Chain A
Amino acid sequence: MRADYVLKRFGIFLLIVWLAGTVNFFLPRVNSQDPIREKLMQQATNGGSLQTGMQEMVAEYDAKFGLDRPLWQQYLSYLADLSRFDLNYSISNYPRTVSEMILEALPWSIGLLSVTTLLAFAIGTLFGAFLGWPRTPGWVHFLLPPVLALHALPFFVLGLVLMYVLAFWAHLLPMYGGYTPGTFPSLNLAFALDIVVHSIIPALSIILVSIGGWALGMRAMMITTQGEDFTNFAEAKGLLARTICLRYAVRNALLPQITALALVLGHIVSGAVIVEVIFAFPGVGTVLFNAIRESDFFLVQGIVFCVILTLGIATFILDLCYPLLDPRITYRRS
């Protein structure tokens, strides 16, 4: 793998992260009045048991982002905080820091999303490959319309239906949450199984919806690769049909699928946030929902930043995997 390819991709990753941080900093300040300050003041005047902490928080906020400091100085101290992952305290859960709360929720979301995305990608791509291969038995094609119809739905629409049918009506699976209330998260088999059982419906709603998109893309690419000279040449050489399908058609058709994966990740995350809210799944989406309800600005900003950061890392890893699949990338000179 060439160094300049890796460096360029890493540069794009840094650009995304910097943009996310910058947008987070400037957007609340565009409106001249500072909603963060207002929320802090409101919380501080409300008083109660939290008051001492709030006063300190306001003092600290003023020291860093006070109006007596020019904007660029505020911006620099913000970026310095960000680079140390100091995302400030949560306004509504004062003594807890934002990073702490996100780190608690992030594994749930990453677990749910990575498993569902990979499964949907694998199943959908395989399905699409079959659809685009002339020797596939005819009945496979009848599966396409229902799969496409499902693909049109947002995750949460299918999620609600599955929740009603599988959990409320048939009592097969639990309705809400990430684990049985009352149990204490621990590292044993029973708890792991409990998580899996709770994740089935949210995961199923994401997977069933996503399959159609991958199948459609893969089918189109399979049809395109079969018209290419190299496939005709392979046929003329008398290679086995299976070899042509896997080594010639599928391998080449797979490349745009990987590119699409990098592009679609953002949509998947946006959709999954709503799924988490509907299922009260203890991931980042649910924390975000509660933070919005409490207008906990630091927590919302922290989550938005961390989600974009995580997604940036995922895209970067995907970019690094790309040359392994397509050797031409590393030889190409820009």
Chain B
Amino acid sequence: MSIVVSKPLAGSPATHSPWLDALLATGRYLRRNPSLIVGLVLLLGLTLFVVIGRSMVDVEDARALSVRPLQEPSARYPLGTDKQGRDVLALMVAGTPLTLRIGLIAAFVGIGFGAIVAFVSAYYGGWVDAVIRTIVDTGLTVPGLMVLIVIVMSLKVSLSTDQMALVIASLAWLSPARVIRAQVLTIRERSYVQLARLSGVSGPEIIVKELLPNLLPYLVASLVTGVSSAILASIGLEVLGLGPLDSPSLGMTLYWVNYSAALLNGWWWWWVPPIVVMAVLFMGLFFVTIGLDEFANPRLRKQV
């Protein structure tokens, strides 16, 4: 900034590139938003761990009986091996993306459906809105895990991870629907939307051109929250023994840890890695949410 001010006519040639400008602006913004940085760094670190790990170990070693069971960490197996004869590092490297995938699928489906419901509810109002609001409000007070358990047990087939993601998505739309509806209701009354409506812009066009861009921060924030709660739900189902038993996902690892009482037996290398990965994952997502919240809601910047 100061360079541009001191040399107003010449300017630095780099600032003429809109991409670089945007990048610099993002950088400047990030410096004011430490939560977002912390969150992104944690998630980036986890991604690096998976990417580098994939090049270091054979993911096939995440299958049962592929290595000698219950080896302490050594040069050959940096994180040791578990009771099923799986390399714990391979387990983490294979399981982390799998767990993330469940979260992403469930969150995207949930947000998509939730946004549609929210727009319908806010657009039509009246009894449609009343019915949808009652469903969403009552649905949110019920512990989601309980309903998911009944659904999974009723399906009776052993689920693949993708199917489990879809089951979780069946409840994941409730919270986005509530958030987005509230936002649509406030944005709808703003003057630029009113002006567009008076100018004869059609309903769908208003939604796409006026509402969506202003909703974007909220959509992204509820996507991140959605990923986090979907992952939590999947881990919950898996720890209860409702996941695919041969899957290397984080929740299933924890199920076997609990099943074999790894903690009591002192096999620390088996349960510490999944706990650390989960801690980094959830903290990363949480701090990104807080950072996005600050971005969407600049009034929070008025901190004490």
Residues of A within 8 A of B (CB): 12, 15-16, 19-20, 23-24, 27-28, 30-31, 33, 35, 38, 131-134, 136, 141, 148-149, 151-154, 156-157, 160-161, 163-164, 168, 175-176, 219-220, 223, 262-263, 265-267, 269-271, 273-274, 277-278, 288-289, 292-293, 295, 297, 300-301, 303-304, 307-308, 311-312, 315
* Contact of A133 with B304 in the complex, beta carbons under 8 Å: yes
Q: In the bound complex, what is the Cα–Cα distance between A127 and B233 (angstroms)?
A: 29
| Min C-beta distance of A296 to chain B, whole Å | 10
A31 and B154 in contact, given A153-B283, A160-B263 (Cβ under 8 angstroms): yes
Is B52 an interface residue when CB atoms closer than 8 A count as contact?
A: no
Q: List 26 A-B contacts (CB under 8 A).
A: A12-B138, A15-B138, A16-B141, A27-B151, A27-B154, A28-B153, A31-B155, A132-B304, A133-B304, A134-B304, A148-B286, A153-B282, A160-B263, A161-B275, A219-B304, A265-B141, A266-B140, A269-B145, A271-B232, A273-B240, A277-B239, A297-B153, A300-B149, A300-B153, A303-B146, A311-B142
Nearest A-chain residue to B178, judged by Cβ: A263
Secondary structure dominating the interface of B:
helix
Is B278 an interface residue when CB atoms closer than 8 A count as contact?
A: yes
* Contact of B283 with A262 in the complex, beta carbons under 8 Å: no
Is B9 an interface residue when CB atoms closer than 8 A count as contact?
A: no
Secondary structure dominating the interface of A:
helix
B150 cross-chain contacts in A, Cβ below 8 A: 23-24, 27-28, 300-301, 304
Is B235 an interface residue when CB atoms closer than 8 A count as contact?
A: yes
* Contact of A289 with B241 in the complex, beta carbons under 8 Å: yes
| Min C-beta distance of B271 to chain A, whole Å | 6
Q: In the bound complex, what is the Cα–Cα distance between A168 and B262 (angstroms)?
A: 11
* Contact of B142 with A30 in the complex, beta carbons under 8 Å: no
B235 cross-chain contacts in A, Cβ below 8 A: 154, 274
B290 cross-chain contacts in A, Cβ below 8 A: 148
Q: In the bound complex, what is the Cα–Cα distance between A312 and B145 (angstroms)?
A: 16
Q: Pick the contact of B142 from A16, A278, A293 — CB < 8 Å?
A: A16
Is B279 an interface residue when CB atoms closer than 8 A count as contact?
A: yes
Is B295 an interface residue when CB atoms closer than 8 A count as contact?
A: no
Q: In the bound complex, what is the Cα–Cα distance between A170 and B147 (angstroms)?
A: 39
Which one of A136, A277, A295 has the highest number of Cβ atoms from chain B below 10 Å of its Cβ?
A277
Residues of B131-175 contacting chain A, CB below 8 A: 134, 138, 140-147, 149-151, 153-156
| Min C-beta distance of B302 to chain A, whole Å | 6
* Contact of A154 with B282 in the complex, beta carbons under 8 Å: yes
